[in-house]
Amino acid sequence: MARSVAEALAEKQREISVAEFFQKNRQILGFDSLTKSMVVAVKEGVDNALDACEDAGILPEVSVEIRQEGKDEYLVVIEDNGPGIVRRNIPRVFGKLLYGSRFHAVRQSRGQQGIGISAVVLYGQLTTGRPARVISKVAEEEVAYELDLTVDTKTNEPHVLKEKPVIWEKPHGTRVEVCIRARYQRGRQSVYEYLQNTAIVNPHARISLIEPDGRRVVFERATEKMPPPPVEIKPHPHGIELGELMSLARDTKAYRLTSFLSGEFSRVSPSLASRICDVASLDPYLRPADMTVMQAKRLIDAFGRVKIMAPPTDCLSPIGAQLIKKGLKNVLGGLRPGFYAQPVTREPSVYRGNPFVVEVGMVYGGDLPKDQPVRILRFANRVPLLYQQGACAITKAVANIDWRRYGLEQRGGSGIPIGPAIILVHVASTRIPFTSEAKEAIADVPEIRREIELALKDVARQIRMYVAKKKRKSKVSEKFFIVQKVIPEIARKAAEIVGKPVPPLEPVLSKVMNVVWVEEKVERGKGDFSVNVRVANLTTAPRSFRLYADVPAGRVMRESVSPPGEVSEDEVIKWDLPEIPPAGELTLAFRVEDVKGGYGETTFYVEGINPAMVIGAEPLPGDWGIKDLEVLESEEEVEE
């Protein structure tokens, strides 16, 4: 009797298992609010679609449609042009939790962070009672198959309610329709934002969205080039966890521990395998399938005590500088930033046996709002992370940098900076360390955090240079305005009031400008270009220095260089300029043979003068002996 009660209880436990598991773990799976459920449903569908297209080498074309069916009830439709799913696999892909080809694969993929589309199907069926409808067609088939299915909550097996072949105009692809209890909204953490961010890091995809009110948004692709497919690698001993090790040992075809180690792991040679067995005090002939948990633990311990080469990193597929730039440009829409930093892709690195690579892009200034916190776009394996911003290693890395040094506002030198900027951070890895099962934030792993910070500092330096250059430029143009407009007007008015002639202004103007001006004028001749360089000393002291002209194209006609200067083999002219008095100027000239049919811009370098004082020429590389690059103000001024 007692036994049968226990049996019945066990039965009951199994019966409710899947549904109960789901109900209990809604939060963990991401269905914790109505608006979030909507985003999660779309995310699962779109991630699947993009992965399927990429696996098959097809440029993704994904359309999402959201239709309102009732209060807080929506039909979510996601359709792709992927390879399609063969009929017999459809039920398992959509109707069985935790089913998928990627579960054990070690490679960079979106799927590793999903709970799977089947969880969406289950959520829909639990909240609206309606089955999901899937239509899929593979290229070889004449017809598509349309299935209505649910997840059997007792057995975690797919349950097909209805099935029929249908005519579909698409050559191949998959369409899934799920009705869910959810809420649709725009703005932050919305389907719109998710798709927009997805488009940034997937510039090869075309993504369209039809919103419940009929509005249609299309994120066009920015490139026709597919990203290189990620390469699958074997797991590296340093990253392995106990459960994984056990299941690898159970499934291996190897008969001995040594061949298991050298065959199933990367960077483990047969000789290293024996040494590991040695260190672990395990029999090299042990059958992997017979390994006990205790033995597995010793093995993992031994992994940590031997030297193993870092895993290969060529399995990662970063987005690349050019496409990050394009992607950002694409989604900014009407907003025009002042400056695109050259995106930084760090060299691949390794944490706990998992290769990873960090990429950072940043835009600054222009139309971006100046008084709001900087927008941080976080991505893991090309998937946008919208939630848990505060818990994420990316956010922590951003907050840890003193952005005041790079031209942004930041209270106390830490925290999210304020200013006109958008920062994009992408972490690609064969295994992203997430903080939780919902996979919404990257865990604060020191190696990853360090790489993110280094990449951030790299782009931040570019921003600082841009800001400094802009400041200098506006200072110079302000001085020009003073010199050309305001001071002549002051002189004219003062002369008018006192009834005297306007005095000569040049000495005053030099004092205000306090720069040396280098300016070229290029004229096209017959078969050559003649270049005239004006060097004006708009300072108050005599100046003598060396000027270098790096000619962009063609050969310098040696005899045309005036006054005579040295011409190096790589067509750089060097002049030792005679002393130029204050307000004085001189003209240099040379001619260049026209070989390429055009002349760009000569790059001028100076040496032997504070380069901050020179407009139109750069400091000679290596001439960085000057500490203070600020223009020195000669008088103390008290500003109110």
Partner 1 sequence: MSDVLKKFMEIAEEIYGQIERGEIPRMQIPSRTKYNIEFSQEHSVWKYGARYAVRSAKKLSGAYMILRTLYVMEFIKEMVEKGKSSTLRELYYISEGWGLAKFGSQDESNRLAEDLEIITGHLREDFHLRPEEDGASVIGNITIEEVNRKGVPKCINCRDDVGDSGYSIPYNVEKEKVRFVDVDADFVIAIETGGMFDRLVENAFDEKARAILVHLKGQPARSTRRFIKRLNEELGLPVVVFTDGDPWSFRIFASIAYGAIKTAHISEYLATPTAEFVGITASDILNYELPTDKLTDRDIEALKAELTDPRFNTPFWRSEIELMLEIKKKAEQQALAKYGLDYVTEVYLPEKLTELGVMR
Q: Quick one: which segment of 83-91, 123-131, 247-255, 501-509 binds partner 1 (CB under 8 A)?
A: 501-509
Question: Considering beta carbons, is residue 474 or 603 the nearer one to partner 1?
Answer: 474
Q: Are 606 and 559 in contact (CB under 8 A)?
A: no
Q: How far is the CB of 314 from partner 1 (least distance, A)?
A: 55
Interacting residue with partner 1 among 139, 495, 541, 629 (CB under 8 A): 495
Question: Considering beta carbons, is residue 347 or 630 the nearer one to partner 1?
Answer: 630
Interacting residue with partner 1 among 507, 525, 563, 598 (CB under 8 A): 507
Q: How far is the CB of 497 from partner 1 (least distance, A)?
A: 4
Q: Are 384 and 426 in contact (CB under 8 A)?
A: no
Query: Under the criterion CB under 8 A, does residue 566 sit at the interface with partner 1?
Result: no
Question: Considering beta carbons, is residue 57 or 499 the nearer one to partner 1?
Answer: 499
Q: Are 248 and 264 in contact (CB under 8 A)?
A: yes
d(CA 8, CA 21): 19
In one letter, which amino acid is 528? D
Q: How far is the CB of 503 from partner 1 (least distance, A)?
A: 4
Q: Which tokens is 251 given? A: 């499934």
Query: Under the criterion CB under 8 A, does residue 498 sit at the interface with partner 1?
Result: yes
The conformation of residue 73, written as its DSSP 8-state character, comes to E
Question: Considering beta carbons, is residue 293 or 541 the nearer one to partner 1?
Answer: 541
Q: Quick one: which segment of 1-9, 244-252, 449-457, 503-511 binds partner 1 (CB under 8 A)?
A: 503-511
Q: How far is the CB of 481 from partner 1 (least distance, A)?
A: 7
Q: How far is the CB of 534 from partner 1 (least distance, A)?
A: 23
The footprint of partner 1 on this chain (CB under 8 A) covers a number of residues equal to 27
Q: How far is the CB of 539 from partner 1 (least distance, A)?
A: 13
Q: How far is the CB of 617 from partner 1 (least distance, A)?
A: 23
Non-local (6+) Cβ contacts of 139 within 8 A are 83, 84, 171, 172
Question: Considering beta carbons, is residue 487 or 612 the nearer one to partner 1?
Answer: 487
Strands (E), 564-628: 566-567, 572-576, 585-593, 603-607, 614-615, 618-619
Question: Considering beta carbons, is residue 226 or 491 the nearer one to partner 1?
Answer: 491
- What backbone phi and psi angles, to 5 degrees, belong to 567? -120, 120
Q: Quick one: which segment of 57-65, 187-195, 340-348, 630-638 binds partner 1 (CB under 8 A)?
A: 630-638
Interface of this chain with partner 1, residues 121 to 180, rule: CB under 8 A: none
Q: How far is the CB of 517 from partner 1 (least distance, A)?
A: 17
Question: Considering beta carbons, is residue 507 or 563 the nearer one to partner 1?
Answer: 507
Interacting residue with partner 1 among 371, 601, 630, 635 (CB under 8 A): 635
Q: How far is the CB of 482 from partner 1 (least distance, A)?
A: 5
- What backbone phi and psi angles, to 5 degrees, belong to 337? -75, 160
- Distances from the Cα of 105 to the Cαs of 78, 101, 111, 350, in angstroms? 25, 8, 10, 18
Q: How far is the CB of 410 from partner 1 (least distance, A)?
A: 20
Rounded (10°) angle between helices 506-513 and 446-481: 170
Question: Considering beta carbons, is residue 283 or 506 the nearer one to partner 1?
Answer: 506
Neighbouring C-beta atoms of residue 67, cutoff 10 Å: 16
Query: Under the criterion CB under 8 A, does residue 632 sit at the interface with partner 1?
Result: no
Q: Are 88 and 104 in contact (CB under 8 A)?
A: no
Q: Are 35 and 189 in contact (CB under 8 A)?
A: yes
Interacting residue with partner 1 among 171, 503, 542, 600 (CB under 8 A): 503
The continuous run of DSSP H or E covering 260 comes out as helix 257-264
Query: Under the criterion CB under 8 A, does residue 2 sit at the interface with partner 1?
Result: no
Question: Considering beta carbons, is residue 370 or 493 the nearer one to partner 1?
Answer: 493
- Distances from the Cα of 358 to the Cαs of 4, 240, 461, 634, in angstroms? 57, 22, 17, 47
Question: Considering beta carbons, is residue 7 or 489 the nearer one to partner 1?
Answer: 489
Query: Under the criterion CB under 8 A, does residue 500 sit at the interface with partner 1?
Result: yes
Q: How far is the CB of 373 from partner 1 (least distance, A)?
A: 19
Interacting residue with partner 1 among 493, 521, 558, 596 (CB under 8 A): 493
Query: Under the criterion CB under 8 A, does residue 293 sit at the interface with partner 1?
Result: no
Interacting residue with partner 1 among 9, 86, 494, 626 (CB under 8 A): 494
Q: How far is the CB of 414 from partner 1 (least distance, A)?
A: 22
- The residue to which tokens 């050019």 are assigned: 322
Question: Considering beta carbons, is residue 279 or 482 the nearer one to partner 1?
Answer: 482
Question: Considering beta carbons, is residue 412 or 501 the nearer one to partner 1?
Answer: 501
Total number of residues shown for the chain: 640
Long-range contacts of 279-285 (CB under 8 A, 24+ apart): 279/305, 279/306, 282/257, 283/257, 284/256, 284/257, 284/258, 285/256, 285/257, 285/258
The shares of helix, strand and coil residues in the chain, as percent rounded to the nearest 5, are 35, 25, 40
Question: Considering beta carbons, is residue 21 or 480 the nearer one to partner 1?
Answer: 480
Strand pairing of 216-219 and 144-152?
Answer: unpaired
Q: Which tokens is 73 given? A: 């009830």
Could you tell me which residues are beta bridge partners of residue 345?
359
From the list 182, 189, 242, the residue with the least C-alpha distance to 212 is 182
Q: How far is the CB of 581 from partner 1 (least distance, A)?
A: 13
Q: Quick one: which segment of 92-100, 109-117, 154-162, 496-504 binds partner 1 (CB under 8 A)?
A: 496-504
Burial class (CB within 10 angstroms; exposed 0-12, middle 13-18, buried 19+) of 331: buried
Interface of this chain with partner 1, residues 451 to 490, rule: CB under 8 A: 478, 481-482, 485-487, 489-490
Question: Considering beta carbons, is residue 408 or 483 the nearer one to partner 1?
Answer: 483
Interacting residue with partner 1 among 294, 497, 569, 597 (CB under 8 A): 497
Q: How far is the CB of 542 from partner 1 (least distance, A)?
A: 15
Interacting residue with partner 1 among 254, 508, 553, 572 (CB under 8 A): 508
Q: Which tokens is 437 given? A: 């099962």
Question: Considering beta carbons, is residue 431 or 479 the nearer one to partner 1?
Answer: 479
Q: 459-478 as b/e, with b when 16 or more CB fall inside 10 Å? A: bbebbbebbeeeeeeeeeee
Question: Considering beta carbons, is residue 234 or 511 the nearer one to partner 1?
Answer: 511
Interface of this chain with partner 1, residues 511 to 530, rule: CB under 8 A: 511-512
Q: Are 337 and 420 in contact (CB under 8 A)?
A: yes
| Cα 177–Cα 182–Cα 185 angle in degrees, nearest 5 | 105
- The residue to which tokens 């010793």 are assigned: 298
Residues that bind partner 1 (CB under 8 A): 478, 481-482, 485-487, 489-491, 493-498, 500, 503, 505, 507-508, 511-512, 635, 637-640
